Amino acid sequence: MTRDSAHLVIPSLLPVPSLDGARRILVIQPHYDDADIAAGGTLATLADSGAAIRYCTVLDDLVGVIDETLSDEDAAASLLRDQRAAAAIIGVNELTHLGFPDAGNWSRFDVRPHLFREIRDFRPDVIFTADPWLSVEAHRDHWEVGSVAAEAAILFGIPKLPSSSASVDAAWRTAPPFDLRAVVFFYTDEPNTLSPIDGTWDRKSAAVSEYRAQFSAEELPQLVTTLDAKAAQVARVGVGAGRLPAGTTRAEALKVIDPRTLHGAR
């Protein structure tokens, strides 16, 4: 977002939550590979610290499969193989899939009850998703998934809004409440948190390199090179601004907010 000199930025009264100590992380992503590409280094660090991580992938990703001769069934199997291999590298414990049509005609009101189910069932203290307020993003899957995930993060506690599973709702109503204390937006151009990934870059690049159903043998190294350049740029800016320790060479840019800031100005 471009801000002119007359444009004042009034910060939220609520502090930026720390990701240290995250215990249960629910990642709501558009496509199979998004979180690994955008935040894989950070998620690997949090997995190493003991966080349980579930990836919920909203779209079926079939449009992105490069081998057009594959049946939808075989294409889905290839995508799943890739994602499982990447998950083992990053340290992701669970993978769920909602199967809505990639780049297709789906409604947020059909997706939202599934996200209520994911949140009520997994009981996350932290949710990761794509930033729906990225100033330039043409792919509707990205901003709409981020938007419905952000909305689910503020509405999941309302019993009058049922999830897609009556049994999950029944268990959730009688379980003790849990504290969703942070929502983390990746693919953001308004980062407030820079996460050093020097120690996990090798795993991030290895995980991204597993997505062979979606990228050719020529494209994958190019993608890794681009991500490397981006991580180096984020680190350079962060070190220059005193926001990262000197000597940091790779980092990811994230917008981490208290969920209470998702509705009305705080």
- Binding interface with Zn ion (CB under 5 A): 30-31, 34
CA distance linking residue 131 with residue 51, whole number of Å? 22
Tell me the closest approach of the beta carbon of residue 39 to Zn ion, in angstroms.
Answer: 13
* C-beta of 34 vs 36, nearer to Zn ion: 34
Alpha helices in 68-188 (DSSP H): 72-90, 108-122, 140-155, 166-174
* C-beta of 29 vs 42, nearer to Zn ion: 29
Residue nearest to Zn ion (CB): 31
Tell me the closest approach of the beta carbon of residue 212 to Zn ion, in angstroms.
Answer: 16
Torsion of CA 212, 218, 223, 224, to 10 degrees: 90
3 state DSSP class of 52: strand
Tell me the closest approach of the beta carbon of residue 23 to Zn ion, in angstroms.
Answer: 27
* C-beta of 31 vs 112, nearer to Zn ion: 31
- Please give the DSSP secondary-structure letter assigned to residue 112: H
Give me the sheet containing 126-130, strands edge to edge. 94-100, 52-59, 24-29, 126-130, 182-186, 251-257, 193-196
Yes or no: say if 201 and 231 are a contact pair by the CB < 8 Å rule. Answer: yes
* C-beta of 34 vs 60, nearer to Zn ion: 34
CA distance linking residue 167 with residue 169, whole number of Å? 5
* C-beta of 31 vs 120, nearer to Zn ion: 31
- Please give the DSSP secondary-structure letter assigned to residue 260: G
* C-beta of 172 vs 211, nearer to Zn ion: 211
Tell me the closest approach of the beta carbon of residue 102 to Zn ion, in angstroms.
Answer: 9
Tell me the closest approach of the beta carbon of residue 221 to Zn ion, in angstroms.
Answer: 19
Tell me the closest approach of the beta carbon of residue 139 to Zn ion, in angstroms.
Answer: 7
Yes or no: say if 79 and 65 are a contact pair by the CB < 8 Å rule. Answer: yes
